[in-house]
Amino acid sequence: MDKKALVIEGGAMRGIFAAGVLDAFIQEEFNPFQFTIGASAGASNLLGYLAKQHKRSYQIITDLGISKDFYNPARFVKGGHLTDVKWLSETSLQQYPLHLDTLLDNVPLYAATTDINTGTANYFQVTKDNLLDVMEATTALPVAYKETPCFSGSCFTDGAVADSIPVKEAYRRGARDITVILSHPLSYSMQKSNSHWLMKRLLSDNPVVADALKTRADRYNQALDFIRNPPKDAKVRVIAPPEDFPVKRLSRKPAVLESGYQMGVEAGTHYLANLKGVKRYTLEECSACYAL
């Protein structure tokens, strides 16, 4: 039997959209998947979904995500973290305890990380023993996070560096019906960075990561091409934000985040209605109904 997989893109605060979609899934008890894969904030969002904790991700993003303990430019200027992802993970577990048994009894969650020695993606299945290490690694944005998480025989940085949208990995693992939740509208494509020279300077101790960042746009756009033109033996279903999605990578205004979350809830609700045949939407009416 062909496997069904759920893939969640990262995108920092843009992850509020996926949080909304997944909350709509939780409300409808929708989980037909055999496994899930997320990168960076996408992996974090999957924790709440698989633990069946409605609005957990929303609360973390809109409460802790806007805290100066997490995002602090003044601290960064003084040599500290711009985004303290370890604080975010640990505090999330304290203030919004994870239903760990439910999570671990659910389908597997794989989180993408980037190996700093090779610049390639490593995908860890989240377990009780490695959860904090993996979540720190998959969200450890280069330069913005000063520490380099090391475990399982290597050291890692943000999974989105090597594989922002791990749809090809889902296919490689046997999925032939893949649902992808994006952080950008369907029309988006990533432009190549003009600041490689700066990254090489800032990442002089991690030249492999700097090189991986240089080619990140190519891998990102290749993943989009796979989504838009999947292999003949696969179906890819896409849930993407609308063109007027207001949330940026580091948005912190509560009203903007609330708007992005509601767009996610609406997209997830429309997607399920369309999937079940309750109501049919055109692509113009429902960007989440692409390739159903």
The Cα–Cα gap between 224 and 180 comes to: 10
Three-point CA angle 187, 193, 195, nearest 5°: 155
Active-site residue among 40, 44, 92, 251?
40
What's 126's DSSP letter?
Answer: P
Is 115 an annotated catalytic residue?
Answer: no
Quote the tokens at residue 273: 């209605």
Contact 81, 120 (CB under 8 A): no
Active-site residue among 57, 158, 163, 183?
158
Per DSSP, helices labelled H in 151-215 are: 159-162, 167-172, 196-202, 207-214
The Cα–Cα gap between 205 and 115 comes to: 14
Is 158 an annotated catalytic residue?
Answer: yes
The region that residue 119 occupies, defined by phi over 0 for left and psi between -120 and 50 for alpha, beta otherwise, is: left
Which neighbouring-strand residues pair with 6? 36, 179
Q: Which residue has the tokens 């100066």?
A: 68
Q: Give me the active site residues, please.
A: 40, 158
